[in-house]
Amino acid sequence: MSLLDQNWGASGSAEDEAHDENQQGRQVLTSRDGTLMLIECAPQMFEPLANQMKQDSAMDDDDEDAQLTTGFQLVLRACQRFYQSKIISNDKDLSGIILYGTENSLNAFDFKHIYILHELAQPSAERIIQLETLSDKSTYKTKYDELFGSTQATGYSLNEALWTCSNLFSNSPQRLTIKRIFIFTCNDQPHASNLTLERQAKQRAKDLNDVGIQLEVFPILTETIPRFDFKKFFQDVVMLSDEDLEIRNNQEPTGRLSELLKFVYSKEHKKRAYCTVPFTLGKAADGTPLEFSVSVYNMVRPCPKPTKIKLDMKTNLETKIVTKHYLPETAEILMPSDIQYGLDVSSRRVLFDADEIKAIKKFADPGFELLGFKSLSCLLPHHYCKPGHFIYPDEKYVEGSSCLFNALLKKCLEKKMFILCQFSARRNTPPRLVALIAQDEEINKKIKNDRIASNGFHVHYLPYADDMRTLPKNDTIRASNDEVELFKSVIRGLKFKYRPDKFENPALQTLWRSIEATALNKGEPDEFVDLTVPSVENQNRKVAGFIDELKQMIFPPGYVMGSTKKSATKRKVDAAASPGGMKKSKADEDVDVEAAAKSNLLSKLTVPMLKDYCRDKKLKASGTKKQDLIDAIQLHLGIAQ
């Protein structure tokens, strides 16, 4: 059976599916995820953060982190930011918050010390405002005592808390694609004195994992709990292997809100493939295709502004656009089967029906087809066409894909070769020539077990012959070697390490902050620092030593940097006021035109300077353009043009 007879296809977003209505493969429905925050309210969560976490939080006194002194505040503020990010990234996702270890109880099963703060629903402005109050340094304690009770509870069960989470997922009115439970706790062994409760909690976690509910633990360290050991209890809860256990136990603690959110987002991030396709190496002796399975991921994807929604002016309800086709003669409504597509060719209209249009669009089956191998030196910078993808083996459809994939990767890295392939993402997309560039795994040397890059192949789109342009040759005068070296020094001084994750889109951030301020009843939007605007002071400081040398080497003698041209009206007034015609500026009088001509810098001078020189020497130019004046001066001085 061919791989295409199985459930090949894209597993991307709904937008990708809408773009390809005729895609063969598994159907992708609109994705909606559900995330529950399960927060422990033990007494230690209200203690000051651990020493190292406190130092991280106090790095900037003006920073928001300086106001988050306890683990409870830190977690609630992280939940608030999580809600805000969901509204921007995917407002259809459902989120909720459950507290366990509280004095008061609020749940469907009347479990003690379990309080459902937020049911599983879409984030709203009211929820965000409530979380902001519960995490504020001046109001969080009063608000907590009012809602959940002032006495700290003991003897609560993590099993019952997980059961409550499972019940919320079961009663959700929406079909959820992914279900997650994020546990925030400072206790690495919550049932150390009760083995029955510990066994029940581990069994409940295993049952949740069997039904597809993912569990993740985020440790919060305090002054009395400076270390969190996953091996004591949570290794069995989140199903950690021995290798993963070592990585988790060696992770550095953090009290920074940004770093906690980064950890949360990394666990919540949807690693969906753009498509899953076969990689064909050729055919065996019996004609059977030799294929293995790969998943294709997008490395870069544009983040557009939200689309505007048209509302009814009277009811404020969202309107629905319906398009219908009418026959002009009879006003009869046409069905899709009644419509044909035409193309005018040489005074003749050629008609196509829907099936013929589909056949025209189909070029090849989806997948990669191996064409050969070439040296990496054959790839040139101007061969770049558009952002590419990243492929990784997929064992779901073909067992052994990882083994064959890694063998190809290893050989390409050893021989410094790339794989030349034909790639079709879907049936109705034209094939493209691509280069698969091998990438080896890269580990951060400063942070243990931190992977900077994964091993795999980058998909680099190659241009066709029709895409290549022949540009006209530019025969202008080239800069001298001294000038080139000088500008190299300037460029080296202005270089910096670019990281795209450090630069936010100013237009998007300004828009979302304005919307957020309106929804949360803020007086004005939060201040946004636009890092795309260069720092002129820093640039001047870095190249200050080259400014005078640049002026002497590039510009003609007496040139005043930053001087502006006078307007035509001003020149006419000055000319009329002075009996000798136009008044010369001091800079014009000091210019040595003959020295500039010998240095081949006449093009740097202004037209009034050239006209004054021609008038003084009584030279006649063939025209009034700048080049005409330059030609007359060079002819007068006997300089070859």
pLDDT at 393: 92
Res. 585: pLDDT tops 80: no
How many angstroms separate the CA atoms of 76 and 276, rounded?
A: 38
pLDDT in tens, 96-144: 999 998 988 999 888 999 999 999 999 988 999 899 888 888 888 888 8
The mean-pLDDT minimum among 248-257, 334-343, 532-541, 631-640 falls in 248-257
- Side chain identity at residue 37, one-letter code: M
Confidence of residue 25 (pLDDT cuts 50, 70, 90): very low
Confidence of residue 378 (pLDDT cuts 50, 70, 90): very high
Res. 613: pLDDT tops 90: no
pLDDT at 354: 79
Classified as helix, coil or strand, 79 is helix
Domains, the chain: 33-51+63-270 (3.40.50.410), 274-301+366-467 (2.40.290.10), 481-554 (1.10.1600.10), 593-637 (1.10.720)
Count Cβ neighbours within 10 Å for each residue of 498-535 and write b for 16 or more, e otherwise: eeeeeebeeeeeeebbeebeeeeeeeebeeeeeeeeee
Average pLDDT on 184-190 reads: 88
Say if residues 91 and 122 touch (Cβ distance below 8 Å): yes
Classified as helix, coil or strand, 555 is coil
pLDDT at 280: 92
Confidence of residue 169 (pLDDT cuts 50, 70, 90): very high
> In whole angstroms, how far apart are CA 57 and each of 74, 185, 432, 448?
10, 19, 50, 22
Rg (CA), the chain: 35
How many angstroms separate the CA atoms of 190 and 155, rounded?
A: 9
pLDDT in tens, 547-584: 778 777 777 777 765 555 544 444 444 544 444 444 45
Count Cβ neighbours within 10 Å for each residue of 542-564 and write b for 16 or more, e otherwise: bbeeeeeeeeeeeebebbeeeee
pLDDT at 61: 40
Instruction: Tell me which residue of 223, 122, 222 sits closest to 173, measured CA to CA.
Output: 122
Res. 60: pLDDT tops 60: no
How many angstroms separate the CA atoms of 101 and 111, rounded?
A: 11
Mean pLDDT comparison of 62-76, 248-262, 316-330, 615-629, highest-scoring range:
316-330
- Long-range CB pairs of 65-69, under 8 A, 24+ apart, other chains included: 65/255, 65/256, 65/257, 65/258, 67/136, 67/137, 68/135, 68/137, 68/255, 68/257, 69/137
Average pLDDT on 379-384 reads: 90
pLDDT at 597: 81
Q: Which residues contact 271 (CB under 8 A, 6 or more apart)?
A: 297
Classified as helix, coil or strand, 283 is strand
Which residue do the tokens 């459950």 mark? 98
Average pLDDT on 1-10 reads: 41
Name the average pLDDT for the chain. Answer: 81
pLDDT at 252: 63
pLDDT in tens, 432-462: 999 999 999 887 776 666 677 888 999 999 9
Mean pLDDT comparison of 147-156, 529-538, 595-604, highest-scoring range:
529-538
Q: Please count the other Cβ atoms lying within 10 Å of the Cβ belonging to residue 603.
A: 13
For residues 437 and 56, which has the higher predicted lDDT (pLDDT)?
A: 437
pLDDT at 450: 67
Res. 24: pLDDT tops 50: no
pLDDT at 148: 87
Average pLDDT on 468-497 reads: 84
Mean pLDDT comparison of 150-164, 252-266, 404-418, 595-609, highest-scoring range:
404-418
How many angstroms separate the CA atoms of 66 and 486, rounded?
A: 46
pTM of this prediction? 0.65
Res. 52: pLDDT tops 60: no
pLDDT at 13: 41
Res. 15: pLDDT tops 80: no
Res. 271: pLDDT tops 90: no
pLDDT at 578: 47
